[in-house]
Amino acid sequence: MYSKTVAELSAGLQQGDFSSEELTQAYLERIKHLGDELNCFITITGDQALQAAKEADQLRSQGKAGPLTGVPMAHKDIFCTEGVKTSCGSKMLDNFIAPYNASVVERLNYAGMVMLGKTNMDEFAMGSSNETSFYGPVKNPWDLKAVPGGSSGGSASVVAAQLVPISTGTDTGGSIRQPAALCGITGLKPTYGRVSRYGMIAFASSLDQAGPMAKTAEDAAMMLTAMSGFDPRDSTCVDREVPDYTANLNDSVKGLKIGIPKEFFGEGLDAGVADAVQAALREYEDLGAELVDISLPNSGLSVPTYYVIAPAECSSNLSRFDGVRFGYRCENPVDLQDLYKRSRGEGFGPEVKRRIMIGAYALSAGYYDAYYIKAQQIRRLISDDFKQAFEKVDVIMGPTAPSTAFNIGEKSDDPVRMYLSDIYTIAVNLAGLPGMSVPAGLVEGRPVGLQMIGNYFDESRLLNVAHKFQQATDFHKNVAEAYK
Amino acid sequence: MSLDATEVEKIAHLARLAIDEKDVGDYAQNLSNILELVEQMNAVDTKDVEPMAHSFDLSQRLRADEVTETDQREHFQEHAPKVEDGLFLVPQVIE
C-alpha cells in the first residue's frame, strides 16, 4: 500500500479497496518501525490521525469525499497545528503547543487529508542539511550517513522512505527543492503569494513560500490545488483564481522552449550531476522541446544578496521570541535585559544566532545602505534577468543543487560552504518565481535533482512539464532498497 | 569586512543574545566569513537601480477598520512562561 502515489491512494479509497482508517493504521505502523532510524519526525500524531481517518471514511460514506479525503500526509513542523506541538526545530519552541491552525493546515484539513505527524527540519528553516535542528539531523533514506538536505529535510525523507505519501515544506532559499533533489522526490515552491503564509512561522517574509513535497508531479498538483488561494490574513497573499493544477498535466511539450542558463553549468557543478541533468534535457528534446541557451548574468550574486536580505528579515521576525509570551524562558532572570538575552541565547542554536547577528549588523546605523539597500538593488537585477529570459523561453532548467547529498558533518563547521549548496535555488526566491525539483537519476547511489523554473503563476505549466518527463522516465520511481 | 570580539559583543547586545565568552572568537570568525561572501555584491554597479523589497512591488492591501478578532487571551496565555491575572509577568522593571 505504501508504495502507491497519492493519485493511486485516492483511486483506491474511491473504489473502496481500503478505508482511510486502514491506510492510516498501515502508515503509522511503518512509521513506528522505520521512523526512528531516520529521525524524520518531531511529533507523531497517531490518535488524532486515526480520528481524522474515521471522519474521512464517514464523509466518504455520505458521498462527500473529495480527491484528497482520507489521504495521509505530514506537515513540516513550521506550520502551526492547533493543540499539537509546533517546534520549528528549535529549543525555543520545544514547549510550544500552537493555539491555532496555519492556513495551509486549515485548507488541507478541509480537503480531508489526515495528518500523521510533524516533520523534523533545520532550526527556524535556517540550514541546508537538517543538521541545525534541535532534535538532531534527519538521515537520508538513500544512505544513513548522508544529509537529506534542508531545511525541509524531514518532509523529504519521509516521502523518499515511503513513510508518508506526501508532505508539506517551505522554501525560502531552496528548502523544498534542495532536499527534494537530495532525497530523490518531487518538490514545488510556488510563486510568492500563491499560498498563504498565515500560521507558517516566519523566517524571511519576502521570500518564504509553502509547497508540496511528493512522489510525482501529479501528486504535487493535487495537493497544490488544495493548498493555494487567497487569504486575507496574509497581506502578501495574492488574490487570484486557483486553477485545477491537474487539468493540464498531459498537455504536449512539443515546441516548448527550455532556457538553459550557462551560469548554472559552470565551475562548482559536480560532473556526475551535470551529466544526469544533460541526459534529462536530451529526454525533453526527444519529447519535442527546444533547448535555448540563455544567460542570467547576475545570478552568481544571489547567494551574497540572500545572506543580507534573509538575515535582515530574520533578525526582525525572530525578535518576537523574547521569553515573555510563549516559548523558552531562562531560569531566574535578574532583570528584563537578562531575561531577553539569556532566553534567546539559550533558546536559539548557533546558526540562528549567526543569522540574527548578520541581520542586526546589516540593518544597524551606518551599514544599512551598504548592505541592505545594496542587496535590494541587486535583487532587482537578478529578477530582471529572469524577466528578460522569459521573453524568449517558457521554462528554465538546470541542476537543483551542485552535488548529490553530502555526508553528515561534512559542511556543518563551515557556514559559507553550506550556503553554497543553494547556489542554483536562491535566485528563484529573490525573484519570487515558482520552481520545482524532479528526480533525474542517481550518481553513485545518491539522487540528482533537475530544477525547473517557471514564470510568475505558471505552476500549471511546470507541473505539466514535470509530469510529461515522469511519463517518459522512471527516475521518480526509484526508492532506496531498505525502504521499498 | 572582518569583525573583532568587541564588535561581535556589540551586535549580540543589539540583538539581545547572550553569547558565551568562549564562543565569541568562533562567532567573530564565522560572521567575518559571511560578510566577506556578502561583499561580493560590491562588484556590481547599482547606481540608479530601484531597490526591490518584494516580488510584485505591490502596495499593502487595506481593509475596513472593523473588529475581526475575538478575545482569546486565556487561550493564548495557556503556554506563556509566567502569567498572573491575565498579565504576562517579567522581572521588575521600575523600582
> From the CA of B88, how many Å to the nearest CA of chain A?
7
> From the CA of B43, how many Å to the nearest CA of chain A?
9
Quote the pTM value.
0.97
pLDDT at B57: 67
Q: Does B40 touch chain A (CB under 8 A)?
A: yes
- Listing DSSP states for A47-88 in one string gives HHHHHHHHHHHHHHHTT---TTTT-EEEEETTB-BTTBB--T
Angle, CA A399 vertex, CA A398 and CA A403 arms, to 5°: 160
> From the CA of B92, how many Å to the nearest CA of chain A?
7
Q: Is residue A484 among the annotated active site residues?
A: no
Which one, of A105, A134, A469, lies nearest residue A327 by Cα?
Answer: A134
Instruction: Give, as one character, the DSSP assignment of residue B41.
Output: G
Confidence of residue A57 (pLDDT cuts 50, 70, 90): very high
C-alpha A419/C-alpha A10 separation (Å) is: 39
Q: Are strands A395-399 and A446-454 parallel, antiparallel or unpaired?
A: antiparallel
Answer for the pair A236, A113: CB distance below 8 angstroms, yes or no: no
Instruction: Give, as one character, the DSSP assignment of residue A213.
Output: E
Contact: A374, B55; criterion CB under 8 Å: no
Q: Does B94 touch chain A (CB under 8 A)?
A: no
Q: Does B78 touch chain A (CB under 8 A)?
A: yes
- Which cell is B71 given? 478575545
Hey, what amino acid is at A98?
A
Contact: B11, A361; criterion CB under 8 Å: yes
- Listing DSSP states for A363-397 in one string gives HSTTTHIIIIIHHHHHHHHHHHHHHHHHHH-SEEE
Give the number of A-B residue pairs with CB atoms closer than 8 Å.
167
pLDDT at B56: 76
Mean predicted confidence (pLDDT) in A417-422: 92
A232-290 pLDDT, tens per residue? Answer: 999 999 999 999 999 999 999 999 999 999 999 998 999 999 999 999 999 999 999 99
Contact: B17, A236; criterion CB under 8 Å: no
Alpha-carbon dihedral sign for residues B62, B63, B69, B73: positive
Q: Does A93 touch chain B (CB under 8 A)?
A: no
The interface pTM score, or ipTM, of the predicted complex is 0.95
Choose which CATH entry (3.50.30.60, 3.30.559.10, 3.90.1300.10, 3.65.10.10) describes domain A6-255+467-483.
3.90.1300.10
Mean predicted confidence (pLDDT) in A345-349: 98
B34-76 pLDDT, tens per residue? Answer: 999 999 999 999 999 999 988 876 677 888 999 988 999 999 9
Contacts of A248 (CB under 8 A, 6+ apart): A460, A461, A463, A464
Q: Does A390 touch chain B (CB under 8 A)?
A: no
Contact: A383, B55; criterion CB under 8 Å: yes
What mean pLDDT is reported for chain A?
Answer: 97
- Which cell is A194 given? 500563491
Q: In chain A, what are the domain boundaries?
A: 6-255+467-483
Q: Is residue A151 among the annotated active site residues?
A: yes
Q: Is residue A403 among the annotated active site residues?
A: no
All structural domains of chain B, each given as residue ranges with its CATH number in brackets, are 5-43 (1.10.20)
Residues of B in contact with A371 (CB under 8 A): 38
C-alpha distances in angstroms, A448 versus A182, A219, A260, A481? Answer: 6, 20, 17, 17
pLDDT at A470 over 80: yes
Catalytic annotation, pick one of A20, A90, A157, A175: A175
